[in-house]
């Protein structure tokens, strides 16, 4: 058995968020973008589709570098939530 290497906290944090998003049914939606806040290529888009009949769903944008998150829900009109508490939405608690 090999020794498990300790990952940097930001890598563990990003992996935890991605796992939680996938567990809730979200799928990655687009290529990684430049974050408007920290200017790093770290902003990810995730989508959750509603159950048909135009029920909408939820789209999230989350920066794995600075943590900025935004959410859009519904179909028409789409409602923007910013700032969006992604950790609270996913039920995650991170130590500072």
- pLDDT, one tens digit per residue, over 21-76 is 999 999 999 889 999 999 999 999 999 876 555 556 889 999 999 989 999 987 77
- pTM of the model as a whole: 0.79
User: Which helix (H) or strand (E) covers residue 10, if one does?
Assistant: helix 9-23
Residue spans of the domains in the chain: they are: 26-90
Q: Rounded to whole angstroms, how far apart are CA atoms 95 and 35?
A: 23
Q: How confident is the model at residue 95 (pLDDT cuts 50, 70, 90)?
A: low
């Amino acid at each position: 058995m090999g020794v498990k290497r300790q990952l940097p906290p930001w890598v563990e944090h990003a992996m935890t968020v991605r796992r939680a998003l996938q567990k809730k049914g979200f799928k990655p939606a687009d290529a990684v973008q430049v974050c408007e806040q920290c200017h790093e290529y770290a902003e990810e888009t995730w989508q959750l589709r509603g159950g048909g009949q135009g029920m909408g769903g939820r789209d999230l944008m989350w920066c794995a570098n600075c943590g900025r998150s935004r959410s859009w829900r519904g179909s028409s009109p789409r409602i923007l939530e910013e700032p969006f508490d992604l950790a609270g939405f996913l039920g995650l608690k991170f130590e500072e």
